[in-house]
Structure 1
Amino acid sequence: MRRIPSRRLFAATLLVASMLAPLTATPAGAVHAATAASTSAPAAGARWHGEDDCPPGGLGPELTARLDKAIEDVRKQAGIPGVAVGLWMPGRGSYVRATGVADKVTGEPMSTDGFIRIGSETKTFTVTALLKLVDDGRIGLDDPIARYVHGVPNGHRITLRHLAEMRSGLFPYTSDPDFIHDLLSEPQRYFTPEEALAYGFRHKNTFKPGAKFEYSNSNLVLLGLVVEKVSGRPLAEFLRNRVLRPAHLRHTFLPSGPEFPEPHPRGYTNQTLDGAVVDSTDWNPSWAWAAGAMISDQHDLRHWAKVLATGELLSPETQAQRLRTLPTGFPGLSYGLGIFDANGWIGHNGSIPGYETVTVYLPERDATLVIMINTDITSGGQEPSTLLARAITSVATPDHVYASAIQPR
């Protein structure tokens, strides 16, 4: 039985992960434009940010052709079954296309209209919920986590800010060998937040609070518990009422289990006990909860990118704290409160077995990029979504190429 490297497994990953067996490349599918109508389209009369500024004719034949080629080259080389990309550049136009397949068995083409598991992009929503409570005056970012959750190693010195910045020093529960075995042995299992955290709490902390950056899902699960304790509401309910509805996101939610509304692509992973590639579409994401279990679609993610980066739901003072990014130790990449700056692109990426996403906003150009794919299998040691984001931005914004350097645990 092949042992999966712990730093790779279930990384609510940030940009790069260690190498696993590559997926055999699927036959190339024709690149096709997205259809205008969709079950996930905004309600009649609704408008998304920048929509009126993006001419429907696209970015022009030359740039469109270069993007088509860049995306298809990465898809083939990395063995990605299906890719859906949205790039909106007000004043210049937009590019909304899909290529490859949503289902390797039926050959159903990938679409830009389906739902997707967004993995660690969930963190942007959880931290926004936390910051809403900061604006309400109900918590402070420098409060110790021990004030809200008991039993956290060194919890009297680890603050909510440390958790949101990934500087707590808590051991990531997803790196615990028993957690890896237990989840992969029963991927339909339901985990409570406390059960997941317990796998990490059995280990010593890896450094003193604030000493350095280390990406850990344990941090965000704890913040989810803080939101629940202070608000007196389940996290899914608080997110719905205080974040999703005010942001006008109609197709984004935190599931309670493996539910996954149609339409959606099938997801493929090799994060298995024997390294075999399997269909992980219906795996239960409860283990990731506030760190990576949410579902969304391209329309909502496009809108969320700007809401998140510009702080529309928060006070200017709180948003300024959120965007105070600190070095991660990797070139071109800094991290704030549940958000990163990758060479000017503000947002987050996500990875969960079978799916990867990138949702980022470039303030300098008022540009938005959303990538959705139906695999998390690495290629050359890198996340396939990162390869795509780098290829797309190299063509569209060569002075702001998406950074990619973090090796998560």
Structure 2
Amino acid sequence: MSLVAVTAFAGACGYTIGEPATWRTPAPTPAYAAQLQTTLQNIINDMRVPGAVVMITSPEKGDWTQTFGTRTVDGGGPVTVGDRFRIGSNTKTMTGTVLLQLVQEGKIGLDDPVSKYRPEVPDGDAITIAQLLDMRSGLYNYSEDEQFNAQLDSDPLRVWKPEELLAIAFAKPAYFAPGAGFHYSNTNLILAGLIVEQLTGRSLQDEFQQRIFGPLGLGETLLPGPTDADIPAPHPQGYMFGTNVSTLADPALPPAEQAAADDGTLLPKDVTVGNPSWAWAAGAAISTAADLTRYATALVSGGLLDAKTQQMRLDSIQPIQTPAPFEVGYGLALVRFGPLYGHDGQIPGFNSFMAHDPVRKDTVIVLTSLFAGPDGKQPANELAMAIIQALYGIAPAPSASPSR
């Protein structure tokens, strides 16, 4: 969901393709980088992460990009900064952005009842469009259903239709009355994606391309078609300890398996081959670190919405957990991590994090090729929290962040 890898590589080498080489003095390594690299490497080792990309842009502290590990658990080639990763729930920010653009265009209102567009939604007269994007609809999250997860394990290449996902959700009782609480639910964004297609008459893929990817120059970012299970090269393989079913109630491995993972006798399973249609508007996109840096900046500091709508989006965020030293909140398909705004994402084989500070203009991108560590923690989030501590001297609680 990056700058073209070749261009990025050429820039790093100090010249532009097609022009005479003009050697420049490399930017100095930021003061925080040496200690941070050691910290991140320790986390990667402890969590058994096969590969990762970290990209930090900070006008005050300095920019730093680093890759870790290899594309496969048995070595393979090294991960590169241009590698593509599945970015899971970071996709939600894209679906939310397109829907907010349609609000700007007068095609839909945030206070409209969902039933106006999708009459089949239970209690849809009482659920607003805003509540879908705020995760306050109360609708059951289909991806929490055990039978659904069993099907993901047994048939990872199955092509899921959005209507099938909604049928799973609507067969279960709501978590609460609309607006009465917060519960992270992929069902909300599947509905949002269908409403986008209904209002525009075009596919969500086309809307992403025309409204986000094209205008921002995100040449390495895509929303796969419903039958497309491939990640365009180059990319690492994606890995997972356990299964979708076994990690549903508790993402941590049993103690004996954690010990085996720690000593290297238990390796994560390669789950790269899988159709992400089950996540669609809620989590199917693919991107690179450079593209996400550009996207996160526009998402938070402006460039995709008008100033009024942009500020409304930032102001919509409500606390979902208030651990010291700062608050984590959610609103209109956007997460606040203290001074930064963005999202994170978890999909079998991959875990990702993106955030941007609209005041300091810092951007933090982390991409990993592991769904979760043996202890159940999300590697991209753990790495991101270490980065935030290095940049700001503060460390939020990783568990506060939604993603799956």
- Give yes or no for TM over 0.5: yes
Match of 2:240, as an amino acid? Answer: T
**C-alpha distance in structure 1 between counterparts of 2:210 and 2:400, whole Å:** 33
Is 1:57 the counterpart of 2:27? The answer is: yes
2:106 pairs with 96, 119, 137, which one? 137
Is 1:304 the counterpart of 2:298? The answer is: no
Unaligned runs of 5+ in 1: 1-35, 47-54
Paired position in structure 1 for 2:5: 38
2:192 pairs with 223, 237, 260, which one? 223
CA contact (8 A) 1:86 1:370 kept: yes
Q: How do 1:346-357 residues align onto structure 2 when only pairs under 5 Å count?
A: 346-357=341-352
Match of 2:346, as an amino acid? Answer: S
**C-alpha distance in structure 2 between counterparts of 1:42 and 1:70, whole Å:** 26
2:236 pairs with 256, 260, 265, which one? 265
**C-alpha distance in structure 2 between counterparts of 1:189 and 1:43, whole Å:** 40
Unaligned runs of 5+ in 2: 17-24, 248-266
Is 1:159 the counterpart of 2:153? The answer is: no
Change (3 A) 1:287 1:40: farther
CA RMSD after TM alignment? 2.3
Q: How do 1:250-399 residues align onto structure 2 when only pairs under 5 Å count?
A: 250-256=219-225, 257-272=228-243, 277-324=268-315, 325-331=317-323, 332-399=327-394
1:116 pairs with 76, 85, 88, which one? 85
Segment of structure 1 superposing worse, 136-145 or 308-317: 308-317
Q: CA deviation at 1:40?
A: 7.2
1:405 pairs with 395, 399, 403, which one? 399
Q: Residues 348-380 of structure 1: CA distance to partner in whole angstroms, max 9, x if unpaired?
A: 111100001111012232111110100012353
Q: Residues 261-299 of structure 1: CA distance to partner in whole angstroms, max 9, x if unpaired?
A: 100010001352577832111211000000000011111
1:76 pairs with 31, 45, 51, which one? 45
**C-alpha distance in structure 2 between counterparts of 1:345 and 1:181, whole Å:** 36
Q: How do 1:210-249 residues align onto structure 2 when only pairs under 5 Å count?
A: 210-249=179-218
Greater percentage in helix? 2
Paired position in structure 1 for 2:94: 125
Segment of structure 1 superposing worse, 316-325 or 339-348: 316-325
Instruction: Give secondary structure in 2 for the equivalent of 1:394.
Output: helix
CA contact (8 A) 1:243 1:313 kept: yes
Segment of structure 1 superposing worse, 266-275 or 85-94: 266-275
Instruction: Determine what percentage of the aligned residue pairs are the same residue.
Output: 38
Q: CA deviation at 1:385?
A: 1.2
TM-score, with structure 2 as normaliser: 0.85
Instruction: Give secondary structure in 2 for the equivalent of 1:93.
Output: coil
CA contact (8 A) 1:271 1:353 kept: no
TM-score, with structure 1 as normaliser: 0.84
CA contact (8 A) 2:60 2:360 kept: no
Change (3 A) 1:43 1:66: closer
Q: CA deviation at 1:107?
A: 3.0
CA contact (8 A) 1:84 1:99 kept: yes
Q: CA deviation at 1:152?
A: 0.9
Number of paired residues? 364
Q: CA deviation at 1:37?
A: 8.3
**C-alpha distance in structure 2 between counterparts of 1:301 and 1:162, whole Å:** 26
Segment of structure 1 superposing worse, 83-92 or 344-353: 83-92
Match of 2:151, as an amino acid? Answer: D
Change (3 A) 1:141 1:220: same
Q: CA deviation at 1:146?
A: 1.0
Instruction: Give secondary structure in 1 for the equivalent of 2:5.
Output: coil
Q: CA deviation at 1:403?
A: 4.4
